[in-house]
Amino acid sequence: MDPRSRTLKGFGVSPGIAIGKAFLVDARHIPIPFYTLSTDEQVARECARFEEAVTEVERDLETIKQSIHPDLKEQVHILEAHQLILRDRLLYDQTLDLIRRERLNALWALKRSLNKITEIFQSMEDEYVRNRVTDVSSVGERIMNRLAGRKANAFDEIRERVIIVAQDISPADAAQIQLEKTLGFITDMGGRTSHTSIMAGALGIPAIVGAEQATRTIRTGDLLILDGSSGTVVVNPTEEQIGDYYELQDALETYLKEISRKAHLPACTLDGHKINVEANIELLEEVVAAKDHGAEAVGLYRTEFSYMNRRLPPTEEDLYNEYRELAELMAPLPVTMRTLDLGAEKMGRWHPGIEQQNPALGLRAIRLCLHHVDLFKVQLRAILRASAATRNIRLMFPLISGVGELQRSKAILEEVKSELRREGRDFDDKMSVGVMIEVPSAVAVADMLAEEADFFSIGTNDLIQYTLAIDRVNEHVAHLFDPLHPAVLRLIRQVVSTAHKAGIPVTVCGEMAGEPLYVPMLLGLELDSLSMNPQAIPRVKNLLRRAQLSDCRRFVAEALTMRTAAEIREALQDMVLRVFPEEFKFFDPEALQPKYRSSEPYV
């Protein structure tokens, strides 16, 4: 056995097995010299060098943006944010100022500005904003690389198909990776919700994150086995291990091919019950992935992305064009447009911004729209106008906490309809209007909401956050964020039974819906549809096809008598391994610990 052979563990975030050579991404820090400039010419030259480096990075980011893989389109927003950061006062003006006033060399001046920005960010109350410092660092590093004369793309040196090993992969790095040469990713840092995870999932490339020792243990050229399901990395494996993993790889590939071949068929249980499987998307470009993976509708279109990272809010025309294109691309399948769900602190530069002590409980989503009715009306006009041609748009309001809010929202919708009628503009007058159930108070009055809504969509990400009092973006309590908490299951059951009594359907559109482990539970809880990220659809459909509604109902009845999430999880894991051995053979249900995915996009 090779004495350098060892096994590392991390989080498996994108299933699949990769066997190949490692490529360690250069994480050497750039040496930063310090010197002062003695003449005005030197100062002018250093300023010009800095400006040129910024322009080059601007161009690099533009090139990356233009050549981005279609499945990574979501990253475009992050790259745009990075372009804005490049010219930010704190970074750009401050660095030039330091060169001019203190006669510092550009690299040192930039380092000083970055330190200052880090300090400012670290003193912020809001964890979300605090975490955005990584974007600034990533931009700063790019400029430094340029100033130090390094290559813009660390991946240029890759000559064969490799497994990339890095401390972390920033969104801009991710967009530069040559996918045809990438067998898999391993990073030291990151959790299940990191960029590497989301990107690898979107591309279907096996990946492991949080393998803390990876870059210290692995050398470029080492042979690796990466098991993206269990989170295992075998460094310099034995012949026997390689043979075993090749067999597993074959079987897994056959299975994945098989489920994607059937992804376009409906998901009917063995006892003939049909569940709709729908897609959650955030960008127009993702419609392709939704359709390719067999989505039967867009169950959630998160409309907030078009409002972010902009100097001015989008116009009605901008939104109308976007929504209409989306509706046409999906037609005749339905598209569920969720009205703006943003917090006042994340509205981009055009909004005055409000300091919020606790944004999750602050002026967000429907509250923000009811506070800024003009903004709300522009979006409603765009949605209604877009509904005219294909008549496949459904509307839903996020974070409704009671009947008053729903009535007010619907009244504004009616006002907008009247305006459009007066203007002689066409729209779908029968457009369904739904309510997202995300706040426990909405569950308590679900019977009253149901009288005024055409459907419910349970946003479990928020419903769990508000029910268990766990900030969904706070990593210190992430382990407590548990969809199987008996309180959460009881609330879901209550919503479904109330809705069904009133004759309206219920979807779950939180992350829970796309987790195979939870699917038998949601089926037994009688949900009518599940909406999830497009890549999750084939596996969920396959699982549903192999399930019996009656068995799942029975399981839910039993689970609801259990007192703790841990007990329910254990019973569920036992059940899925017994009833769906094929479905979970390659995926370790033990590894499915409570997790959350922040939908909070990058600013």
472 annotated to a ligand binding site: yes
Q: Does 509 bind ligand PEP (CB under 6 A)?
A: yes
Q: DSSP state, 339? A: P
Measured from the CB of residue 470, what is the shortest distance to Mg ion in angstroms? 14
Q: Does 462 bind Mg ion (CB under 5 A)?
A: yes
Of 141, 173, 341, 405, the one binding ligand PEP (CB under 6 A) is 341
Per-residue exposure over 491-516, b if at least 16 CB sit within 10 Å of its own CB, e if not: bbbebbebbeebebbbbbbbbbbbbb
Measured from the CB of residue 277, what is the shortest distance to Mg ion in angstroms? 20
CB 433 within 8 A of CB 457: no
Of 459, 514, 520, 524, the one binding ligand PEP (CB under 6 A) is 459
Q: Does 343 bind Mg ion (CB under 5 A)?
A: no
d(CA 241, CA 225): 9
Measured from the CB of residue 514, what is the shortest distance to ligand PEP in angstroms? 11
103 annotated to a ligand binding site: no
Nearer to Mg ion, 398 or 534 (CB): 398
Out of ligand PEP, Mg ion, none, which partner does residue 528 contact, by CB within 5 to 8 A per kind? none
CB 298 within 8 A of CB 290: yes
Question: Three-class SS string for 28-89?
Answer: CCCCCCCCECCCHHHHHHHHHHHHHHHHHHHHHHHHHHHCCCHHHCCHHHHHHHHHHHHCCH
Of 245, 599, 602, 603, the one binding ligand PEP (CB under 6 A) is 599
Out of Mg ion, ligand PEP, none, which partner does residue 302 contact, by CB within 5 to 8 A per kind? ligand PEP
Q: Does 520 bind ligand PEP (CB under 6 A)?
A: no
* Residues numbered 411-450 forming contacts with Mg ion, rule: CB under 5 A: 438
- Interacting span for ligand PEP (CB under 6 A) from 39-47, 70-78, 136-144, 457-465: 457-465
User: Which structure tokens are listed for 538?
Assistant: 């084939």
- Parallel, antiparallel, or unpaired for β 232-235 and 223-227? antiparallel
Which of 64, 141, 598, 595 minimizes the C-alpha distance to 346?
A: 598
338 annotated to a ligand binding site: yes
Residue type (1 letter), 156? D
Measured from the CB of residue 191, what is the shortest distance to ligand PEP in angstroms? 17
Nearer to Mg ion, 90 or 444 (CB): 444
How many residues make up the chain in this entry?
603
126 annotated to a ligand binding site: no
Nearer to ligand PEP, 145 or 460 (CB): 460
Nearer to Mg ion, 145 or 306 (CB): 306
Residue type (1 letter), 492? I
47 a catalytic residue: no
Q: Does 461 bind ligand PEP (CB under 6 A)?
A: yes
CB 205 within 8 A of CB 179: yes
Choice among 47, 77, 82, 195 that is catalytic: 195
* Residues numbered 281-320 forming contacts with Mg ion, rule: CB under 5 A: none
d(CA 371, CA 190): 37
369 a catalytic residue: no
Out of ligand PEP, Mg ion, none, which partner does residue 559 contact, by CB within 5 to 8 A per kind? none
Q: Does 459 bind Mg ion (CB under 5 A)?
A: yes
Q: How many other CB atoms are there within 10 angstroms of residue 362's CB atom?
A: 16
* Residues numbered 410-449 forming contacts with ligand PEP, rule: CB under 6 A: 438
* Residues numbered 361-390 forming contacts with ligand PEP, rule: CB under 6 A: none
Out of Mg ion, ligand PEP, none, which partner does residue 509 contact, by CB within 5 to 8 A per kind? ligand PEP
User: Which structure tokens are listed for 143?
Assistant: 């400029």
Nearer to ligand PEP, 322 or 341 (CB): 341
Nearer to ligand PEP, 249 or 457 (CB): 457
Question: Three-class SS string for 383-428?
Answer: HHHHHHHHCCEEEEECCCCCHHHHHHHHHHHHHHHHHHHHCCCCCC
Please, which residues have CB within 8 angstroms of residue 212's CB and are 6 or more apart in sequence? 10, 188, 189
Measured from the CB of residue 546, what is the shortest distance to ligand PEP in angstroms? 26
Alpha helices, H only, 154-271: 171-176, 195-203, 214-217, 239-261
Nearer to ligand PEP, 47 or 399 (CB): 399
Out of Mg ion, ligand PEP, none, which partner does residue 10 contact, by CB within 5 to 8 A per kind? none
Q: DSSP state, 346? A: G
- Interacting span for ligand PEP (CB under 6 A) from 245-253, 310-318, 453-461, 582-590: 453-461
CB 478 within 8 A of CB 595: yes
462 annotated to a ligand binding site: yes
Beta bridge partners, 301, equal: 281, 337
Q: Does 462 bind ligand PEP (CB under 6 A)?
A: yes
Nearer to ligand PEP, 207 or 509 (CB): 509
Of 229, 392, 460, 542, the one binding ligand PEP (CB under 6 A) is 460
The H or E element containing residue 106 is: helix 106-122
Measured from the CB of residue 485, what is the shortest distance to Mg ion in angstroms? 17
- Parallel, antiparallel, or unpaired for β 335-338 and 223-227? unpaired
- Interacting span for ligand PEP (CB under 6 A) from 157-165, 355-363, 459-467, 532-540: 459-467
Measured from the CB of residue 472, what is the shortest distance to ligand PEP in angstroms? 8
* Phi (first) and psi of residue 558, to 5 degrees: -70, -45
Q: Nearest-CB residue to ligand PEP?
A: 459
The count of residues interacting with ligand PEP (CB under 6 A) is: 11
Choice among 47, 77, 369, 509 that is catalytic: 509
Share of the chain residues as helix, strand and coil, in percent rounded to the nearest 5: 55, 15, 35
Q: Does 359 bind ligand PEP (CB under 6 A)?
A: no
Nearer to Mg ion, 443 or 568 (CB): 443
User: Which structure tokens are listed for 71?
Assistant: 């499945």
Q: Is 152 exposed, middle or buried (0-12, 13-18, 19+ CB in 10 A)?
A: middle
119 annotated to a ligand binding site: no
Which of 71, 19, 47 minimizes the C-alpha distance to 245?
A: 19
Please, which residues have CB within 8 angstroms of residue 114's CB and are 6 or more apart in sequence? 91, 136, 137, 140
- Interface residues toward Mg ion, by CB under 5 A: 438, 459, 462
**Binding site membership for Mg(2+): which residues?**
438, 462
- Interface residues toward ligand PEP, by CB under 6 A: 300, 302, 341, 438, 459-462, 509-510, 599
**Binding site membership for phosphoenolpyruvate: which residues?**
302, 338, 461-462, 472
Enzyme catalytic residues: 195, 509
**Binding site membership: which residues?**
302, 338, 438, 461-462, 472
